[in-house]
Amino acid sequence: MASESSACETSAHSAIECVKDNESSSPDVDVLRANITDERHACSWVEDYGLKTNTSWVVDFVKPTAKCERMVFHKVWRCKEAKREKSCGEAAAHCPAKIDLKIKKVNRNTKRNDAFLRGEKPLPAVIKLFHHKSHSTAAADALSRLTPTMQTRETFLAYFDSGMSPAEATRLHESKLLVQEDGYALVANSAVNPLPPAIYYWHRLCREKNFGKDVDPLLKIAEMPLYAKHDNSLEALIEQLRRVHAEEKSNAVYRRHLLSGTKRLRRLQEQKRGVGAMMAMNAALGLGLRRGRYIKVQPTAISRRRPGLTRGSKRVAAGRPASGPSPKRAKKRRHVLQQSVSQNIPHVKLHGYGH
């Protein structure tokens, strides 16, 4: 009967209506009907029931209901102590307690044989409580073996998101529990006050989520010789630059570009700009070392010439001029208005003669 009252208190706390099916119940099994309609509310009810009865429940069986015509959910939980490998003489060994919860479909066919589905508020969930336990649930050792609830986990993750360490979060959480009613009992309960291994595990998950996984520094040190072996180190680049400098240091053009490049490197302060400079340098080196890098391009003015094109009063030959010494051309004289008038030149803006 204690389990029945705990179940009713849990359902009232969770705003779930729950009644006992006296016809289906037996001395060893209590059958309850509730208005639970989905898996999320079912798991939440089991967690609240375990918190009220100081019992941790683990999933033992899940029945697929995708093709089922009368059920939408069916799962069985067993007491956590049933999984412990202990001898028969020790306490909390082979605990037979379990929860069998299934949710029926509410339709014309299921209402025909179930009176709990024909009311104004149907109760589709059938909860079978095998409440007989082979261990104590009030001892301090039993409370310390309880599994932390999801609400407790979310509380500690909120502590870690605010910047607390595991030790700070533990002290703050215990201080909050001590000011409540039966505070010392709550501190001894691992469901609401988890043990340090669980707290540090959650802290590690929070760090991996926000900052990535931890990297062993010894592994990175072991990769350094392999990294340098493939000419990926900075020393390899400096060695090649010194070789080029020794060969070209007497070249004035090289010294001018070396000074210009040094000034540009000094202006690089951001990491992204440094990466961009290295990429541009590699692209320029590849362009300068490829085959056919010296390309003779015909000037645009010559390539656009057509046969019969004239410039002023003379015909201009099409294409590139023949190789050889270029013919001497008369220099253009400056336009002087007074000289043009004295020489009786009517069109002052012409190019003149001898062009």
Task: Tell me the residue ranges of DSSP E strands in 84-219.
Answer: 98-104, 125-130
With beta carbons less than 8 A apart as the criterion, state whether 328 and 336 touch. no
pLDDT at res. 306: 58
Q: Ranked by mean pLDDT, which of 59-73, 209-223, 292-306 comes out on top?
A: 59-73
Rounded to an integer, what distance in angstroms lies between the CA atom of residue 83 and that of residue 94?
7
74-86: average pLDDT: 78
Rounded to an integer, what distance in angstroms lies between the CA atom of residue 133 and that of residue 135?
6
Tally of CB atoms within 10 A around 34: 24
Rounded to 5°, the CA angle 23-27-30 comes to 60
Nearby residues of 150 by Cβ (< 8 Å), 6 or more positions away: 47
Question: What is the greatest pairwise CA distance in the chain?
Answer: 138
Kindly report which listed range (65-74, 117-126, 235-244, 302-311) carries the lowest average pLDDT score. Answer: 302-311
Asked whether the whole model's pTM tops 0.85, one would answer no
- Paired tokens of 152: 């407790």
pLDDT at res. 246: 84
**Closest by CA position to 40, among listed 78, 3, 13, 75:** 75
Strand, helix or coil at 75?
strand
pLDDT by residue (tens digit) across 208-223?
Answer: 888 887 777 777 777 7
pLDDT at res. 355: 47
Q: Is the pLDDT of residue 73 over 80?
A: yes
pLDDT by residue (tens digit) across 133-182?
Answer: 887 887 778 888 888 999 999 999 999 999 999 999 999 999 999 999 88
List the beta bridge partners of residue 71.
104
